[in-house]
Structure formats: structure tokens, C-alpha cells
Amino acid sequence: MEFSATVVLAGLILALLWLFTVKNSSKHRLPPGPYALPVIGNLLQLNKNAPFKTFLEFSKTHGPLVTLYLGWQRVVVLVGYDTIKGALVDQADDFTGRGPLPFLHKSTKGYGLTISNGERWRQLRRFTLSTLRDFGMGRKGMEEWIQEESKHLRDHIQSLKGSPFDPTFLLGGTVCNVICCLVFGKRFGYKEKQFLHLLENISELPRFNSKPWGVLYNIFPWLMERLPGPQHTFFARNTELRQFFIKKIEEHRDTLDPSSPRDYVDCFLLRCDQEKENPTTEFINENLVSTVMNLFLAGTETTSSTIRYGISVLIKHTDVQKKMQEEIDTVIGRNRCPNMEDRKSLPFTDAVIHEIQRFLDLAPFSLPRYAPKDISYMGYTIPKGTQIIVLLHSVLKEEKQWSTPMSFNPQHFLDQNGNFKKNPAFMPFAAGKRSCVGESLARMELFIFFVTLLQNFKFSSPKGSDGIDLNPEYSSFANIPRRYDLIATPR
């Protein structure tokens, strides 16, 4: 009885919020959009398996700026390269706000780089970019960590002697270990129980947010907190993950040598000490814990899923795999570890890696932006408090930008002479001031890991190439690739 009364009261509150929102929207020249129902907005119109496809359909009727409502939350969707570049690059200052995404806000307690805005975001982003970029003076740099990890990956796959295996956790561990080296100064063995448990918890993030329960949590968090369901299991895992990072940070604090910082955590702790008398500093323990979580959650599953998907693509397109291996054999051979200098001599390989990212379209919306004030754009007003969805899918698959957008085609990144060519519509990391902070790291990992794998192995499927489905398993918050057993035959 008490629960029913709570639901009714919540419904009334939502209805009032809806009326207030609609009344408030009449003050502004909002971008056009589909008719929305009270309380639930446009939720019933969305393709629940791939909502970004519905947004694309709305834009065909209403234009490149679309207003819709997810529950009572007003959302403006930016569609197409010209619209998104105009916002994120040409009018960057207006579009740096990060939306208060409920699952992220609860996971990080509102701290850290990803969810923050204003001075907190500026301080943390500047520090993180400079630390990741400069890390390696007198110590191992990023490239060396990745090369070392690529050897562990190669050796582990060789030990399987061509038997079928699911690469999901192995690739997750490979990428996660690079972040472990940068953040904690050490790697873990692929079979360590603590490490495997860490990977399991990290891998749940994109899956939870791409399932209906995750979507509903982000729209109706106050209600989902009160209902039973898998959201509670997810946040219990998240708490466990947070405790793991707190413990590692405390270990660093106990062994910190101010004259010789070992990694990102040490650098942050030293900065905390330097600014302890500054009342406006953002270098505090809560921001360190949450930013470390951000780096792991944003950097592990994204890059490992891209590599896993890329291998599936190469199994499906055996001619592409063979051509990449021929190029790699000619330029590097099979004995030397690849480095980033090799990329300019491997244009076809570089083009394939870019096309894998474009074709996968891993984050079709990116993380939502937010209007911290009224924003004037393209003749419309985006009112303060509006969520802004940047539909990266509409750029990576836009017909005006790509000759065959819905097909896998490495020629998208090659000129008529076979040289690599850039395309400004290649935006898997978003663009502008809020683009992915780990972009340079991810590019380095993708190149070195892909080249190492193709140097040493020929990839195939126990079921043959026809058994590979390149359509994602889930398509909501992220396009999650399907899992397959594969065979890596030593070359």
C-alpha cells in the first residue's frame, strides 16, 4: 500500500515537472521535434534496441537539431557532421557542459573528470592530459608499456597452440594492464583472480547501460532506486570497484617518494600535497578516486571491444587480413616489435584500423552534454538545463562524408595512390574541448596491438567466416560487439 502511494505521488510530481517544463519551453525558440506525451515524453517512440536510429529518423523530418523528451527531461539531439562540428569545435565554449548522467553521478559520487564541469573539469583535464602526455621522463613511456604488454599478449596466445578461445577477457586484460601501468605503475598476470574480478566489474558498465534497465535508470533514477532489479547488482559491483581503487591509492600514499613519482597516482598525490593550503583546489582524494575510476572504465572496455571487433572483421574479410599481413611483413618483418614511427609506412594497416573504429561506431551518442546556460545555436535557443545528445553515429555513417557508409571499406581512408588520408568526419573520440582525454593512448594501443597480432597470427573462426555476425549484441548506450571463439594460428 505504501509502495503504491509512493508511485502515485511520484507520478504527480512528474506530471507537475512536465507542465513546468512545457510552460518554460514556450519562452524559447526550441529546435523542432516530435510531439511528446506527458510524463513519458517520446519514450514509446524510441527503438528500444537502438534508440540512436530513432533519433536519426526524427532528424529526417525535423532537421539537424531535434528537441524531444526522455521522460520529463528535455533533450536536444545534434545530427550530422556540419551541426556537430559547428557546436563542438566552432562554438566549443558553449558545449563543454557535461550532463548529470545519473549512473555516472552515483558511480563517482559527483567527483572526477568525466562528470565534472567548470573549474573542477578544467583543473582535472589539464592535469590528466599533461600527465599522460609527459609521463615517461626517466621512466618507461606509454609506447614502451604497450610494447611490453603486446609481448605478453603474443606469448599467451602462442601458448594456446591454435586451439579455439574467447578473446574477450584476454584483450580486456591486455588493455587494462596498460592503464594499470600508467595509473598504478604495475601490471597483473592474466590469470590473477583479483585482476579477473576487476575486469568482470569493469566490463559490466557498457552492458548495463545498453540494456533496458540501464536506460531506465538514467531516465528515472529516483524510481529505479526503489524498484528491485539488476541495477542494484551493478552498483554493488561499482562499490567493490571503488574500494579496490581506494586501497591501491592508500598503498601509493604509504610508499610515496616525492623525488621519484612512479605513475599517475603518485603525480596526483604530490599535487594534492602542493595545494593542500589552497581552499579552491580540486586536487583532493575524492577527485583522485573518481578520476582513476574514469580512466579505467572509459579506457578498458572501449579499446578492447574495438580490437575484438576488429579481429571479427578481419576473419570476415580474409582478403583485408592477408593484405595487412603482407604490408606488415614488408615494412617490419615478423621479429621486431612495432612502434608508432611505423604507422606512416603502413598506410593500408592504418586505414583498416580507422575503418574498424568508424564501422563499429562504438559510442553512437558519446556521453551527453548539458546546457549550463541558454545557448543560441543555428537560429534556435537551447534552454539552460537541457541535455544535449551528440549523435556521433550520424557523422560516422553519414552519406555525405563516406562513399559507402554502411559497408566496411578501408578505401575511406586511402587516396588514389594508396596513401593514408584523413577525414574530418572521423570522430569516434568526439571532438572539441570535451573530446576523449585518452585518445592518444587509445590510438597507440590500437596500432601496436593490431600490428603485433597480425605479425604473429592468422585469425579464423571454428565456424568459418559465415558464422561471424558483425551486427552488435547490444545497441543502446554503446554498440557492444558479439562474442565469438576464434582460432589464432601461429604464422
Q: What is the mean pLDDT of residues 91-110?
A: 90
* CA gap 174, 190 in Å, rounded: 8
338, 447 in Cβ contact below 8 A? Answer: yes
Average pLDDT of the chain is 90
How do 73-79 and 387-391 pair as beta strands?
Answer: parallel
* pLDDT(145) > 70: yes
Chain position carrying cell 579506457: 299
**pLDDT-based confidence at 337, cuts 50/70/90?**
very high
As beta bridge partners, residue 66 has 77
- Fold type of domain 118-356+398-490: Cytochrome p450 (1.10.630)
Residue 380: its pLDDT value, please? 97
Longest dimension (CA), the chain: 74
Backbone φ and ψ of 258, nearest 5°: -55, -25
* CA gap 483, 37 in Å, rounded: 38
* pLDDT(3) > 70: no
Residue 1: its pLDDT value, please? 45
| Residue ranges per structural domain of the chain | 118-356+398-490
Least confident of 127-136, 306-315, 344-353, 363-372: 127-136
Residue 331: its pLDDT value, please? 97
Helix (H) or strand (E) holding 422: none
Residue 20: its pLDDT value, please? 46
Q: What is the mean pLDDT of residues 388-398?
A: 96
- Locate 313 and state its grid cell: 572483421
More confident residue, 19 or 194: 194
Which percentage of the chain shows pLDDT scores above 90? Answer: 69
As beta bridge partners, residue 73 has 70
**pLDDT-based confidence at 219, cuts 50/70/90?**
confident
* CA gap 50, 475 in Å, rounded: 5
Tens of pLDDT, residue by residue over 358-374, are 999 999 988 899 999 99
Tens of pLDDT, residue by residue over 161-180, are 999 999 999 999 999 999 99
**pLDDT-based confidence at 5, cuts 50/70/90?**
very low
Chain position carrying cell 539531439: 77
* CA gap 377, 5 in Å, rounded: 43
* CA gap 177, 323 in Å, rounded: 30
Based on its alpha-carbon atoms, the radius of gyration of the chain, rounded to whole angstroms, reads 23
* CA gap 147, 154 in Å, rounded: 11
Helix (H) or strand (E) holding 380: strand 380-382
Contacts of 293 (CB under 8 A, 6+ apart): 107, 108, 112, 241, 242, 245
Residue 2: its pLDDT value, please? 45
Q: How many CA atoms lie within 13 A of 403 on its CB side?
A: 9
* pLDDT(475) > 80: no
Residue 465: its pLDDT value, please? 82
Residue 367: its pLDDT value, please? 87
* pLDDT(353) > 50: yes
Residue 329: its pLDDT value, please? 97
Pick from 293, 278, 268, 370: nearest CA to 113: 293
**pLDDT-based confidence at 13, cuts 50/70/90?**
low
Tens of pLDDT, residue by residue over 401-428, are 999 999 999 999 999 999 999 999 999 9
* pLDDT(345) > 90: yes
pTM for the structure as a whole: 0.91
* pLDDT(141) > 60: yes
CB neighbours of residue 247 within 10 Å? 10
Which amino acid appears at position 11 of this protein?
A: G
Tens of pLDDT, residue by residue over 197-208, are 888 888 887 778
Tens of pLDDT, residue by residue over 249-300, are 999 999 999 999 889 999 999 999 999 999 999 999 999 999 999 999 888 9
* pLDDT(472) > 80: yes
**pLDDT-based confidence at 140, cuts 50/70/90?**
low
- Locate 274 and state its grid cell: 602542493
149, 174 in Cβ contact below 8 A? Answer: yes
220, 71 in Cβ contact below 8 A? Answer: yes
